[in-house]
Amino acid sequence: MKKTASKSSGIRQTGLGDPLDRLIDFRQVNSLTGSKCKTSHNARTLAERGQIKAVRFNERTIRYSEQSVTDLVAGRAPVVATNQLEGRL
């Protein structure tokens, strides 16, 4: 059963969409996407491309929106044109 936020609950919407959207680390992103990579490179690359949403707490701590990762896996993520990536290669 999905919880819904009421006005009296004190939950603020953070701009990530659903106010109850969980923030997950790169290990969980890799698990959900099926990546066998043990580093954060895959998750950071997906965030740089705009395919998943990243939240930066400080220079070393980054968390990712669980809903954006599930959207990516389900095929609902934004498509990145190859000409947008040419400058990064």
Q: Around Cβ 46, how many Cβ atoms within 10 Å?
A: 23
- pLDDT tens-place string over residues 53-70: 999 999 999 999 999 999
Q: Around Cβ 52, how many Cβ atoms within 10 Å?
A: 27
Mean pLDDT of the chain: 79
Position 15 scores a pLDDT of 55
Residues 82 and 42: their CA atoms lie apart, in Å, by 17
- pLDDT tens-place string over residues 1-33: 444 444 444 434 445 556 778 999 999 999 999
List the one residue out of 49, 37, 46, 38 whose CA is nearest residue 70: 46
pTM: 0.68
